[in-house]
């Protein structure tokens, strides 16, 4: 197949960028979207041109590095999947595809399709750590946890911090990400010692990073490759309100 790509090219955060059109030849349906970009870069290098910079790591839908807007959708058209899990069988010969970086004030462009998502790292760092000593595996399993809470905590912990929620939100809100990280601890007994401190610190860090506010658009849940539920945002709000009352 031949695929026409309109790719965002930008040297750095301070310079203006633009969409540049390329034709990628030799694309096969079994290729992942990232493998197709690899093919593009091989063809560009063969012509002596600068390859397109994009992030990737595990290419198994685990790490969340493959942060691309594909035809205006975070990670592309497949639901519950990352960019690296999107395959070219989704497209027909001659298809035209627009590829852009995640766009948010808190995610400045580094180069081309790469953005700096270290804001997420700083929010997590603000949340601190779990101080309770659970001992070895046997001792940890001795703490009884209701099944429904364990399941909800595990669902929240599935968040890979890719930033699709921010990219999809019209306000560039990070509420779903923060809600998932707060929920995974707030639901478990191990997370109780720092419960109030954690949510206050993470909410403050989120605001300081310049993310927007949640207005219940639900685009975050629709774009999330791990299908994190917006019900976690309601839990985050409850945890925040509780913390402000307890610490006053």
Q: Residue holding tokens 């419960």?
A: 195
The radius of gyration of the chain's CA atoms, rounded to the nearest angstrom, is 20
Mean per-residue pLDDT pooled into runs of 10, the chain (248 residues)? 97 93 97 98 97 96 95 96 97 97 96 97 93 74 87 96 97 98 93 93 96 95 97 96 85
Options 3.40.50.720, 3.40.50.300, 3.40.50.970, 3.10.20.30; which CATH number does 3-114 get? 3.10.20.30
pLDDT of residue 92: 96
Task: Classify residue 52 by its DSSP letter.
Answer: P
Confidence (pLDDT) at 13: 86
pLDDT for 248 equals 61
Q: Which residues, 6+ apart, have CB-to-CB distance to 129 below 8 Å?
A: 194
Question: Three-class SS string for 164-184?
Answer: HHHHHCCCCECHHHHHHHHHH
pLDDT (0 to 100) of residue 137: 74
| Topology of domain 118-247, CATH | Fumarate Reductase Iron-sulfur Protein; Chain B, domain 2 (1.10.1060)
The predicted structure's pLDDT at residue 183: 96
Q: Using CB atoms within 10 Å of the CB of residue 88, give its burial: 0 to 12 exposed, 13 to 18 middle, 19+ buried.
A: buried
Q: What is the pLDDT of residue 139?
A: 73
What is this structure's pTM? 0.93
Give the contacts of 37 (CB within 8 A, at least 6 positions apart): 52, 54, 99
CB 235 within 8 A of CB 202: no
Domain residue spans of the chain = 3-114, 118-247
């Amino acid at each position: 197949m031949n695929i026409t790509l309109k790719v965002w090219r930008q040297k750095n955060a301070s310079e203006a960028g633009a969409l540049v059109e390329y034709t990628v030849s030799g694309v096969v349906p079994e290729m992942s979207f990232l493998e197709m970009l690899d093919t593009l870069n091989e063809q560009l290098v063969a012509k002596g041109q600068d390859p397109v910079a994009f992030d990737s790591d595990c290419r198994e839908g685990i790490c969340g590095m493959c942060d691309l807007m594909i035809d205006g959708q975070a990670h592309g058209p497949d639901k519950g999947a990352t960019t690296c899990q999107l395959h070219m069988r989704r497209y027909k010969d001659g298809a035209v595809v627009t590829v852009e970086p995640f766009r948010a004030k808190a995610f400045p462009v580094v180069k081309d399709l790469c953005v700096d998502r270290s804001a997420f790292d700083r929010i997590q760092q603000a949340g601190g750590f779990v101080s309770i000593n659970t001992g070895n595996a046997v001792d940890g399993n001795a703490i009884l946890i209701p099944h429904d809470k364990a399941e909800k905590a595990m669902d929240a912990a599935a968040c890979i911090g890719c930033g699709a929620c921010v990219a999809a939100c019209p306000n560039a809100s990070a509420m779903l990400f923060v809600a998932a990280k707060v929920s995974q601890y707030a639901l478990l007994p191990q997370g109780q010692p720092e419960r109030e401190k954690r949510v206050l610190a993470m909410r403050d860090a989120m605001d300081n990073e310049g993310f927007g506010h949640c207005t219940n658009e639900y685009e975050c849940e629709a774009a999330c490759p791990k299908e994190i539920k917006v019900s976690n945002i309601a839990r985050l709000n409850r945890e925040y309100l509780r913390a402000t009352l307890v610490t006053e």
